[in-house]
Amino acid sequence: MSIFLSTEIVVFLLIEVILLLLMSIAQGNIILILRRWDFESSTALQYHLEKKNYLVNTILYFTVAVKIILFLFFILSLNSLAGVVPGAMCSAGVVGANVYGNLVLFLKLMLIFGLGLWFLINTLDLTAPNFPHLKPKYWLFSFLFILLCSEFALEIIYFSNIPLKVPVFCCSVVFQSPKLPFGYTQEFLVVVYYLLLVSILVLNTLKQKIATLLCNFLFFFVGYYAITYFFGLYIYEMPNHKCPYCMLQKEYYYIGYFIWGFLFLGIFFGMMPYLIERITGANTNALLKYSSFFLVLSATICTFYFVHYYLLTGVLL
Amino acid sequence: MKQMILRDIHKIYNASKPNAFHALKAINIEIETGEIVILKGVSGSGKSTLLSLMGGLSKPSSGDMIVEEENIAKLPDILSSRYRHEKIGFIFQSFNLLNGLSVEQNVQAPLMLSHLSHTHIDEKVMRALDIANIAHKKRQRVSDLSGGEKQRCAIARALVMNPPIILADEPTANLDTHNSRLFIEMLDTFKALGKTVVVATHDVLFEEAKAIDRYIHMKDGEIIP
């Protein structure tokens, strides 16, 4: 049996192909717009380009929105593939089935951030009277388009190389003792997690965009390790279950979607104001309050599991 | 003061296709604030197309459309909608009212987007209904009105946002002579209110109106001198 016969993968790849086709049409028009755009002109060509601009925006609004939803479907698909891939008990086994899995996942996450950035710049551009951010937003999309094509190629390679006869390693690996970077301990990690969180909240309040960008970048990794290697233990209520994916499953009430979702949303909104200002010069400090809101939500859920377990058992894992 | 400046406007439908149609050719018009202008011409002469461009309902194929120092031809869609909402009152040949609603509700409709208090909305609606002389029918459903009353309701709706510009496309085409004359008399009211009015029509009754400042004759998408 081929992995490509799995319903989820067929649906996923079919949607990816359609989106890529639509984005290719948009990209063709973007090249034309980037070459000939002159907003001050009132010629037939400029009006034609302005119409094309609406076509491109409509296509991209749709495809970017679907792409973000498709990311969730991808995660769901990985979970369901665990039943097909021998040895896999959750997405950890499927992602780790070959060397491309983590790369695909990381690239997808980066693309979601990139497309989100494009989405925000596009919104700014369409609400201004003279399309002031048109060129930067299309240069950004052209760069993302190359990544999107690479992502699709990588997905094909990844799915083609998932072994269906040889058992993969799954939580047998993550169940082992934690491999934290630089030999850090769990205690140190959780202290850094809360310190960084508080720093981000303070910096967001003070609207220190560069500092909050850097702290959020750090928090991306610290958050990942803290949730996987510390809070995860209290979610699974097992001292050696260090998996970032199992919490996405029904057994854990899909809580992982909220924890990871809020974490990434918080980091995203924290990083955007500085990047948007660099690209467009626009002030989007208002996004920082969304950053604080989502990060606090994610941390509250994590802390709840930890406190709840400790209050019930009086034991630290 | 110039309210509207149209410079070298062209409108081509299905451009670069075999069935391309050049609806407007090199239109140049300047309209003063408070001026009442009649666009005259037979069907297909380009009056309605020109009116839809002035109203920001569509965009030209080339040329500039400056309204209150802003080139509306180049506005993004979201700002075009705002322009239509705040600056333009439309009166259509077929009224385009919501038949299931009362006169008052129809006139209220444009204000629903404006975050005003109920008291303020009611004041504005009553003022518009009074100007259009339809206040006595405010509770009545639009479907129960006569043609003339529907047109007065449409006028009240066009005025309720207090727009500086009123555009009317064949406003008397569905009215009898009596009601047509009532509409033409309404032009005096528009003038008194300081509105800039552009009416596209081929109704000869408009020639009786004293409020009209200028006639622009159109033929085959061009202005005839």
Distance from C-alpha of A42 to C-alpha of A246, rounded to nearest angstrom: 58
The pLDDT of residue A184 is: 74
Last residue of one domain, picked from the residues A160, A188, A211: A160
Our CA-based measurement puts residue B11 at a distance from the nearest CA of chain A, in whole angstroms, of 9
The domain total for chain A is 2
With CB atoms and an 8 Å threshold, state whether A50 touches B79. no
Domain boundaries, chain B: 35-61+69-224
Size of chain A in residues: 317
Measure in Å the smallest separation between the Cα of A40 and chain B Cα atoms.
Answer: 9
Phi, psi of B2 (to 5 degrees): -80, 125
Express each pLDDT in A24-36 by its tens digit.
999 999 999 999 9
**For chain A, what percent of residues have pLDDT higher than 70?**
95
What count of residues does chain B have? 225
Nearest to B212 by CA among B196, A307, A293: B196
Question: Do residues A143 and A203 share a domain?
Answer: no
Query: Which residue range is the domain that position A266 belongs to?
Result: 175-313
Residues A149 and A211 in one domain: no
A255 and A231 in a common domain: yes
CATH superfamily of B35-61+69-224: P-loop containing nucleotide triphosphate hydrolases (3.40.50.300)
Residues in B closer than 8 angstroms to A47, CB to CB, are 59-62, 73
Under a CB-based contact definition with an 8 Å cutoff, are residues A220 and A193 in contact?
A: no
**What would the pLDDT profile of A144-195 be if each residue is shown by its tens digit?**
999 999 999 999 999 888 887 777 766 655 555 556 666 778 888 899 999 9
Q: Which of B7, B70, B76 sits opposite A126 (nearest CB)?
A: B76
What DSSP state is assigned to residue B64? Answer: E
pLDDT tens, position by position, B134-156: 999 999 999 999 999 999 999 99
Please name the helix (run of DSSP H) or strand (run of DSSP E) that holds residue B164, with its range, or none: none
pLDDT of B88-134, one tens digit each? 999 988 889 999 999 999 999 999 888 889 999 999 999 999 999 99
In a domain, A221, yes or no: yes
Could you tell me if A124 and A227 lie in one domain? Answer: no
Give the minimum alpha-carbon distance from B213 to chain A in angstroms, rounded to a whole number.
30
Distance CA A12, CA A29 (A): 26
Structure confidence by residue, pLDDT tens digits, A238-279: 887 888 888 888 889 999 999 999 999 999 999 999 999 999
Q: Which is nearest to B189 in space by CA: B145, B146, B127, B116?
A: B127
Please tell me the pTM assigned to this model: 0.81
Q: Kindly tell me the burial class for residue B153, based on how many C-beta atoms sit within 10 Å of its own C-beta (0-12, 13-18, 19 or more).
A: buried
Residue type, A79: N
